[in-house]
Amino acid sequence: MIKRLVTALVVNPCLMVTGLWARRELIGEFTRRNIELRHRGSRLGALWALINPLSMLGLYFVIFGVIYNTRFGVLKGETGYDCLLAMFLGLSLFHAFSETLSWAPSLITSNPNYVKKVVFPLEVLPVSYIGAAAFHLVVSLILVLGGSIFSTAGLSWHAAWLPVLVLPLLMLSLGTAWFLAAVGVFVRDIGQLSAFAVTVLLFASAVMFPVSMIGKQSPELWMVLRFNPVLQIIDLARHTVLWHEPLAWHKVAYVYGFASVVLLLGAGFFSLLRRSFAEVI
């Protein structure tokens, strides 16, 4: 009994994760398909990858940057442009993760042919969606780096740390996607909570305001929210890439540890429940 449990929760997830490399061509093909399908039929095509985040950024900046006059208070002589850039970086990283909450619960149920009629490695489906999200994230981050040239602090070599901070975000997204995709087969109502969860996470991750504001306004709430890995990744990215501060390695170690646990737990749930997918769908 113990051996079966260890195999289901430890051995199988590790094999599933390491086996992704052997299926890299299939993952690449499905990732390209997801990128194309997202913009197929629209006249502006891939430009929507820029228009959507920029339009949301404009709305949030008017509310938080203009009406509430939010400033991050790190740079001396911080301008509205610096604030806008910090918001855009946070929004880009946040969307790369929050999209997972929207599509993951219905991913398996919306692709029944892969479950019933075809011998298909179902774990590839969430990976391909994460790959498409990573593509759009890279586009947004290129804009951030280009825009930082004109900021008060400018662009420095600290931007080279950005991939180090993006990797745990993608690991966290993939683990969450595997978990929600598996649970969504059996609990269909979980998808109805996604919109509310995204809104809660938006404010819990300090996307549009400085992290320090949480501690000042509510130290008790900060005692909980400081463990939010998305918040920590966004804060690390701002301090390192935009404000040229050294990486806080203890925070980097925390987000990598948290993301690794979520990745393996998500893989464990997926590998454990996938044998029953065909019976439910």
pLDDT tens, position by position, for the chain (281 residues)?
555 545 555 667 778 888 888 889 999 999 998 888 876 656 655 666 677 777 777 777 787 777 777 788 888 888 888 888 898 899 999 999 999 999 999 999 888 888 876 678 899 999 999 999 999 899 889 888 988 898 888 999 999 999 999 999 999 999 999 999 999 998 888 878 888 899 899 999 999 889 988 988 889 999 999 999 999 999 999 999 999 999 999 999 999 999 999 999 999 999 888 888 878 77
CA gap 39, 99 in Å, rounded: 16
Contact 95, 88 (CB under 8 A): no
Which of 162, 158, 167 minimizes the C-alpha distance to 140?
162
- Note the pLDDT of residue 6: 53
- Note the pLDDT of residue 60: 73
CA gap 129, 245 in Å, rounded: 33
The structural domains of the chain, with segments of one domain joined by +, span: 17-274
Contact 91, 203 (CB under 8 A): no
